[in-house]
Structure 1
Amino acid sequence: MTELLRQVPENPVPAGTKAGLMKAADGLHIRYALFPNAAPSGTIVLLPGRNESIEKYFETVGDLAKRGFACAMLDWRGQGGSGRLLSDPRKGHIERFDDYVSDLNQFFTDIILPDCRPPFHLMAHSMGALVALLAARDLVNRVRRMVLLAPRWTFPRRCQCRR
């Protein structure tokens, strides 16, 4: 089902890629891709940032494949090839940020665990890294390592207590 992915000569779809649509709990379709490896050392789940899509990561998938990893990836709801909540496809609106966490948990349950080889590692960028942090409690028994690149996260300011 690689026809779900955009074919660009300068950015070819990695060999063996399988793409599909996962039906989220609310009925929205979430596009995903699996990038198998003949003898994987495990699977890296790639979580893109805001306004990124699967196609942006083809080069990264190739680099990880050379290191012996299979990869799995999804487009967040409202982005890439996933369903939209608004009639304007250029707008990536969501109702609740927790919907991203639910989609990630369902992606693990429905797609990654049955179809991908462990151990599982997670590599996330920007908004994807924030979703990974929010989902960390659910992922603790599934994911061995997480690499979070530029998470959209701020630490609370130190309390200005009187002394």
Structure 2
Amino acid sequence: MTDLFHLTEDNPAPRNAAGGFFTTPDGKKIRYGVFAAVARPLLGTVVLLTGRNECIEKYFETIRNLADRGFGVAVLDWRGQGDSSRLLRDRQRGHVRSFRDYARDLEQFFEEIVLPDCRGPYYILAHSTGAVIALLASPSMVNRVRRMVLLAPFLEVPDMPVSIATVRRVCAIFCALGLGW
């Protein structure tokens, strides 16, 4: 498993690590990790949803803490981030066409990895972008996930001097002028 995760002396992989890749219907490879609980009793599985520009390895300490408390953990790198497929030639730039792509990837992750391989009940712990994706995907998670803890979801820009409709119009103009990238 050492070739799947990027290890450092200061950030070793949690015990009981497994993982791999699954392929989305549009051909993107998504990296995931599954970490079994260390302590007993077994309390279920926490599905950990990372923020923008974050990867599985950033959460090794959190995963170890959850496993030491009896929770298994399942986590993935979003498309365009970590070791998942990139949508741009420049691998340093994270990009996604729509957050709905992320929600579909999360649904597939549940169907192919979490439900068959991880012990219930299921909980979601999500940070930033992951929290927004959890909210977007919540209608399909209603009968699967017992609880969600959403940390710092980016829902709005406070005290924005213009309306969101104006922002959309300005962005559309920039894109039409070829400045969308």
1:84 aligns with 2:86: yes
Counterpart of 2:34, as a letter, is: L
- Aligned twin of 2:125: 123
1:136 aligns with 2:138: yes
- Aligned twin of 1:22: 22
- Aligned twin of 1:109: 111
Counterpart of 2:9, as a letter, is: P
Q: Distance in 2 between matches of 1:124 and 1:6?
A: 22
Q: Distance in 2 between matches of 1:66 and 1:154?
A: 36
Question: Any unmatched runs of 5+ in structure 2?
Answer: 160-181
With normalisation by structure 2, the TM-score equals: 0.83
Give SS of 1:4's match: coil
- RCO higher in 1 or 2 (8 Å CA, sep ≥ 6)? 1
Count of matched residue positions in the alignment of Structure 1 and Structure 2: 157
Counterpart of 2:67, as a letter, is: A
Q: Distance in 1 between matches of 2:26 and 2:121?
A: 29
1:61 aligns with 2:29: no
Give SS of 2:98's match: coil
Q: Distance in 1 between matches of 2:128 and 2:158?
A: 18
- 1:126 Cα deviation (Å)? 0.3
1:9 aligns with 2:20: no
When Rg is computed on C-alpha atoms for both structures, the one with the higher figure is 2
Give aligned-pair identity as a percent. Answer: 55
- 1:91 Cα deviation (Å)? 0.9
Give the alignment's Cα RMSD to 1 decimal: 1.5
Q: Distance in 2 between matches of 1:101 and 1:61?
A: 22
Q: Distance in 2 between matches of 1:122 and 1:109?
A: 15
- Aligned twin of 1:148: 150
Q: Distance in 2 between matches of 1:140 and 1:2?
A: 35
Counterpart of 1:149, as a letter, is: L
- 1:128 Cα deviation (Å)? 0.2
- Aligned twin of 1:37: 37
Indicate how the Cα distance of structure 1 residues 18 and 66 shifts in structure 2: closer, same or farther if over 3 A, else same: same
**Which stretch of structure 1 is more off in the superposition, 90-99 or 54-63?**
90-99
- Aligned twin of 1:160: none
Query: Are the aligned partners of 1:2 and 1:18 in contact in 2 as well (CA < 8 Å)?
Result: no
